[in-house]
């Protein structure tokens, strides 16, 4: 018996949101593209670990990647399912209210490979 695609999309979304590092990544991508080098500099985590989290979110179809030369930029991809999109929007909105997430945002632009 195959699962309902909308139910699977919701389950994948909740699993993607169930990790503090992925929540920090989503917070940083809120309304902007972010280069992997910035994630590494802000989160103070190794690039392979960041890349694994981003790949997980790409498989859940909530993150898109764009290559520009040797750099890869990530941004939030809104789910097609209305319920999933509402949940993601609400979660990201609430993240931006948290003190530690605001501190991450203040560091954007200070760790970029383009500088």
Identify the pLDDT of residue 35.
Answer: 93
DSSP assignment, residue 35?
A: E
What tokens appear for 104 in the block?
A: 């991450």
Share of the chain above pLDDT 90, in %: 82
Identify the pLDDT of residue 8.
Answer: 86
Question: Is the Cα dihedral 113, 25, 34, 99 positive or negative?
Answer: negative
Give the Cα separation of 8 and 111 in Å (integer): 36
Phi/psi for 34 (5° steps) reads -135, 135
Identify the pLDDT of residue 115.
Answer: 47
Provide the mean pLDDT of the chain.
91
The DSSP element (H or E) to which 54 belongs, if any, is: helix 47-59
What tokens appear for 107 in the block?
A: 């560091």
The bridge status of strand 63-68 relative to strand 34-35 is unpaired
pTM: 0.90
Strand partners, 27: none
């Amino acid at each position: 018996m195959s699962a309902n695609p909308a139910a699977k999309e919701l389950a994948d979304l909740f699993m993607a949101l169930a990790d503090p590092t992925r929540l920090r990544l989503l917070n940083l991508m809120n309304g902007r593209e972010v280069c992997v080098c910035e994630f590494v500099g802000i989160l103070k985590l190794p690039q392979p670990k960041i890349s694994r989290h981003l790949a997980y979110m790409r498989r859940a179809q909530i993150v898109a990647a764009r290559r520009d030369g040797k750099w890869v930029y990530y941004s939030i991809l809104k789910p097609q399912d209305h319920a999933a999109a509402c949940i993601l929007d609400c979660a990201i909105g609430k993240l931006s209210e948290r003190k530690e997430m605001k501190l991450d945002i203040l560091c954007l632009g200070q760790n970029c490979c383009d500088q």
